[in-house]
Amino acid sequence: GAVVSQHPSWVICKSGTSVKIECRSLDFQATTMFWYRQFPKQSLMLMATSNEGSKATYEQGVEKDKFLINHASLTLSTLTVTSAHPEDSSFYICSANKDPRKNIQYFGAGTRLSVL
Amino acid sequence: EDKVVQSPLSLVVHEGDTVTLNCSYEVTNFRSLLWYKQEKKAPTFLFMLTSSGIEKKSGRLSSILDKKELFSILNITATQTGDSAVYLCAVEFRNTDKLIFGTGTRLQVFP
């Protein structure tokens, strides 16, 4: 397997503030990481693909200026939820692909964001 | 429109029962199908299937893919309470790293 660490696991913030979530691959390098959003009892919805050294690729309907993604190194990608509002409250999960030849994505433990 | 559909949405069984979870898909440029188990937080990888008719097995879990009929099944025999989880099916596209996930099947195993 492979270890992906996500931090923080839970964050509560006031409306209007920005929140940064970190995703790290601990025992492998990942040129590509993925950010998902999951609503209660629903499946994972891909938000964006994070590419090391270049801009992220966002899925249709995901606001780039709202969800800022930075993939500064081969082991770290960050997702910043800017000016968070209650409707941004959700479970955010990242994943990383250890072997580009086999797209088995390994997931972080997720971050539960609650915006008051 | 590409989609992955899982059934049933939820399943309640007793320990020792055998269950079959279904995943059907309609996608362009199919490359592989993956099964994950999600207990409370991070989905954990179970199987990756790329070829039709070849069963993958891990302990009490097994899975098979039918690329002609566009579906996969995940079997769990002699279920245990620790098997309680949401089982997610995902399809990978050729020429991209993206996965599309189904809505999942919530399995509850009671003693």
Beta carbons of B100 and A110 less than 8 Å apart: no
SS3 B19: strand
Q: Are A68 and A14 within 8 A, CB to CB?
A: no
User: If you average pLDDT over residues A14-42, what whole number do you get?
Assistant: 92
d(CA A81, CA B28) in angstroms, rounded, equals 32
What confidence tens digit (pLDDT) does each residue in B27-85 have? 888 999 999 999 987 899 999 999 898 899 999 999 999 999 999 999 999 999 999 99
What confidence tens digit (pLDDT) does each residue in A53-105 have? 888 999 999 999 999 999 888 999 999 999 999 999 999 999 998 887 777 89
Cα B38 to Cα A17, A54, A92, B29, B64: the distances in Å are 30, 31, 14, 26, 20
Q: Are B105 and B84 within 8 A, CB to CB?
A: no
User: If you average pLDDT over residues B16-37, what whole number do you get?
Assistant: 95
Q: What's phi and psi for B83, nearest 5 deg?
A: -80, -10
Peptide bond preceding A86: is omega within 30 degrees of 0, i.e. cis? no
Please report, rounded to a whole number, the percentage of residues in chain A having pLDDT higher than 70. Answer: 99
- pLDDT attached to residue B72: 97
d(CA B101, CA A93) in angstroms, rounded, equals 13
- pLDDT attached to residue B108: 97
Tokens of A38: 């999951």
Q: How far is B41 from chain A (nearest CA, A)?
A: 5
Q: Are A75 and A25 within 8 A, CB to CB?
A: yes
Looking at per-residue pLDDT, the higher value among B48 and A42 belongs to B48
d(CA A95, CA A91) in angstroms, rounded, equals 13
User: CB-side exposure of B98: number of CA atoms within 13 Å?
Assistant: 18
d(CA A36, CA A41) in angstroms, rounded, equals 14
**Radius of gyration (C-alpha) of chain A in whole angstroms:** 13
User: If you average pLDDT over residues A36-47, what whole number do you get?
Assistant: 89
Q: What residues of B are in the A interface, CB distance below 8 Å?
A: 31-32, 34, 36, 41-45, 48, 88, 90, 92, 97-104, 106
- pLDDT attached to residue A46: 94
d(CA B105, CA B96) in angstroms, rounded, equals 26
- pLDDT attached to residue B97: 79
- pLDDT attached to residue A1: 65
- pLDDT attached to residue B88: 96
How would residue B86 be classed by pLDDT, with cut points 50, 70 and 90?
very high
Q: Which of A105, A108, A110 sits opposite B99 (nearest CB)?
A: A105
Asked if the model's pLDDT at residue A41 lies above 90, the reply is: no
